[in-house]
Amino acid sequence: MRKIKFFDTTLRDGEQSAGVNLNLQEKLEIARQLERLRVDIIEAGFPASSKGDFEAVKQIAETVRTCSVTGLSRSVRSDIDAAWEALKGGAEPRLHLFIATSPIHMVHKLRMTPEQVIEAAVEAVKYAKRFFPIVQWSAEDACRSELPFLAKIVAEVIKAGASVINIPDTVGYITPKEYGEIFLYLQNNVPNIENVSLSAHCHDDLGMAVVNSLSAIEHGATQVECTINGIGERAGNAALEEIAVALHIRKDYYQVETRLNLQEIKRTSNLVSKLTGVVVPPNKAVVGKNAFAHESGIHQDGVLKEKTTYEIISPELVGVPSNSMVLGKHSGRHALRNRVEELGYTLSDEEINQLFVRFKELADKKKDITDDDLIALIFEEKFDHFKDFYQLSSIQVQYGTNQIPTAVVVLKDGKGNEIQEAATGAGSVEALYNTLERCFQTPVTLLDYRIESVGGGRDALAQVFVKVRAHDIETSGRGTAQDVLEASAKAYINAINRVFMIEAMRGENEKVATP
């Protein structure tokens, strides 16, 4: 059987989703989980784009040892130099070079002739090969390119030393039949095509990213580029989990193999969803919470008699547990550490100690602590530290049907100073957010607010996700607590702290760029 490589671009293309801003610690955690999932290649970012991206790519390359780590680069030497500095410590450093090849991009964006584009692509590949053992070359907007020109430039970059040729459907425009025909055309019209691997990279603007990726595999592609949960710019990218499970379940048809550990799919999906704030729809294939739910009486009867009547994918295949471990107030530190490790999270001794304190506090209020509760606590302890910015000290909200909702908030800034403000609003959350806006002394626009319970029952934790815009920066935040208003406050503060963190990073980048 042919082997298909999975090129995961969650940390590059996926992070370009509106409102998604991952910090270094969050990117490292996702990279470690992608390594457990056993993807072949992790695209960790765009090293030349910012100091933060450079550092993230560098640390991921030095941390991950069983996957190849790559970074994106334009066809310019400065980008290639930055990528090499970031990636040279990796186990198998590779570069992802791109340049646009469609008439609309060459004329309006690049303002280059086709001959100039070929010259720039060839020069970039030759230069990159001085450093990188593997160079992947992408024809941006390949699916709206003229096929004779696409074949010509592909042949030239292969001569220059490219090892992988990627054919992106950059704007999600093409149909499965047309996409497959592009791969056949290149195989029939590029003389040296047998010297490279062909890769597919599809966007979901017309809802065809997954089926287009599968069509590419049918027509000779041996690498597929995708993201966890299908996140990405605009309508997103092809969803890794859907392609992977389709290839597994229909191995009889596709006749291919992968090295993925499918049992890590659900855990990876949950991690990416929580860290990005992009909620997985309940009816999402493979990883949605309703993916294995059967409501119809006829379906339930069939599944009880024989699962395969209506269940083509077993929950266990993708790591959905049939039951979760329950801890309680009598559980000790050792049991907590073991369960954290079983859930796939890496915590230091200090983080375990801090988590244990929070765990005991919650156990005094909630009889049983499920895996979902524990994961919520882990996320709060491991990923929500912004010591240089604002932290919540206390909130008090007064509400009554015949009263004006009023909130009082006390925050601590990075220097330990207390800030206390009060404000009113049409509702409790609005009063709370008006008060926080006063604390921050900056205008904030709330773009989205979502709340969900962690598990069920009256004592369930509340998890709030917000998306905000402040200082012309759009980002998301999350917060968890037993009280809905406390969770709402934490999510809002988390989002604003991210705004200040991004501003601080931009300031550092400007310092670096100044001669």
Paired tokens of 308: 């395969």
Cα atoms found within 13 Å of the Cα of residue 170, Cβ hemisphere only: 17
**Looking up tokens 């339930």, which residue turns up?**
300
The residue behind tokens 């799919």 is: 265
Q: Can you list the alpha helix ranges (DSSP code H) found in 190-326? A: 209-218, 240-249, 251-254, 265-276, 297-305
Exposed/middle/buried for 202, CB within 10 Å: 0-12, 13-18, 19+? buried
In this structure, is the dihedral angle defined by the CA atoms of residues 351, 489, 10 and 95, taken in order, positive or negative? negative
Q: Where is the binding site for Mn(2+), in residues?
A: 13, 201, 203, 237
CB 48 within 8 A of CB 83: yes
Query: For residue 363, what are its two tokens?
Result: 């156990």
Which residues pair with residue 420 across a beta bridge? 410
For 344-373, give one letter per residue: b (16+ CB within 10 A) or e: bbebeeebbebbbeebeebbeebeebbbbb
Provide the b/e sequence for 290-314 (b: ≥16 CB within 10 Å): ebeebeeeeeeebbeeeeeeeeebe
Number of Cα atoms under 13 Å in the Cβ half of residue 230: 28
- Give alpha helix (H) positions in 129-225: 147-160, 176-189, 209-218
> Quick one: how far is CA 460 from the chain centroid?
27
The burial of 152, by beta-carbon neighbours within 10 Å (0-12 exposed, 13-18 middle, 19 or more buried), is given as middle
On whether the CB atoms of residues 282 and 289 are closer than 8 A, the answer is: yes
Annotated binding site: 13, 201, 203, 237
Least Cα distance to 29 among 352, 378, 358 occurs for 378
Please name the residue ranges forming H helices in 45-113.
51-63, 77-87, 103-105
Pair 467, 495: CB distance under 8 Å: yes
Dihedral sign for Cα atoms in the order 265, 384, 367, 361? positive
